Chains A and B, each alone.
Chain A
Amino acid sequence: GAVVSQHPSRVICKSGTSVKIECRSLDFQATTMFWYRQFPKQSLMLMATSNEGSKATYEQGVEKDKFLINHASLTLSTLTVTSAHPEDSSFYICSARDGQGANEKLFFGSGTQLSVL
């Protein structure tokens, strides 16, 4: 099946710094990728939809200036958490659809655990 690679898997940073998370589709092209965040024992919450070559669309309540998304190619989307604060500590997961096949199911990256001190 399609593979989505996400890096880093874990990051610890100081408050006020920025953190970049990469999401790559390894064996397929993804015109659209989705970014989720998940708090412990809670549901995945959709943050934004990343579109290749255009601006991301953000869900209600998600600050676009705080969570910068860039989808520069058909295989790479990045999420940058700017000026991170402890409340941004969470599990961030990207996902994509393989546009070549049945396009309803999502392939997920392995997630990034962000801890802001």
Chain B
Amino acid sequence: SQKIEQNSEALNIQEGKTATLTCNYTNYSPAYLQWYRQDPGRGPVFLLLIRENEKEKRKERLKVTFDTTLKQSLFHITASQPADSATYLCALPLSGGYNKLIFGAGTRLAVHP
């Protein structure tokens, strides 16, 4: 069955450094992959979408890569700030219509001053 894996361990980094989060998937060939941010007690907020024919996508301090051979996406936040502290979720579309999304468990990022 389709499976998404994100590092369940929290990532602690110093302000100003680059945070790198990993999303791996198996038994799957998605047409695109998405990244969301979720703050405690809130719904996720969309950040970036990258398609299978794109190697890299950037938006301000965010960068996403998509390696369909490795079945992996990397999510980078450069010049990280304490306000970037949140849980980051990777999401992929399920087959079967309606473009349903399934989510990884997320990785919690803590940026320390």
Interface residues of A (CB under 8 A from B): 4, 6, 32, 34, 36, 41-44, 46, 49, 57, 91, 93, 95, 97, 103-111, 113
**Of A42, A49, A113, which one neighbours B41 at CB under 8 angstroms?**
A113
Contact A43 B34 (CB under 8 A): no
Residue of B with least CB distance to A1: B46
B99 within 8 A of A: yes
- Residues of chain A within 8 A of B13, CB atoms compared: none
Give chain A's interface secondary structure class. Answer: strand
With both chains docked as a complex, state the minimum distance between the C-beta of B33 and any C-beta of chain A, in angstroms: 10
* Interfacial residues, chain B to chain A (CB-CB below 8 A): 4, 32, 34, 41-46, 49, 89, 91, 93-94, 98-106
B32–A49 touching, CB < 8 Å: no
**Given A34-B100, A104-B99: A95 in contact with B106 (beta carbons within 8 A):** no
| CB-based contact A106/B101 at 8 Å | yes
Known: A4-B43, A44-B89, A111-B43. 11 other contacts (CB 8 A): A6-B43, A43-B89, A43-B103, A43-B106, A91-B41, A93-B43, A104-B93, A105-B34, A106-B46, A106-B101, A111-B42
Q: Roughly how many angstroms separate A77 CA and B103 CA in the complex, as a whole number? A: 22
User: Which of B34, B43, B100 has the most C-beta atoms of chain A within 10 angstroms of its own C-beta?
Assistant: B43
| Chain A residue at minimum C-beta to C-beta distance from B42 | A110
> How far, in whole Å, are A111 and B106 apart by their CA atoms in the complex?
17
Our pick among A34, A36, A57, A107 for the contact of B46 (Cβ within 8 Å) is A107
Which 8 pairs show the lowest CB-CB distances between chains A and B? A108-B43, A43-B105, A105-B46, A44-B103, A93-B43, A111-B43, A43-B103, A108-B44
Contacts of A34 in B (CB 8 A): 100-101
Assess whether A111 is in contact with B41, with CB atoms less than 8 Å apart: yes
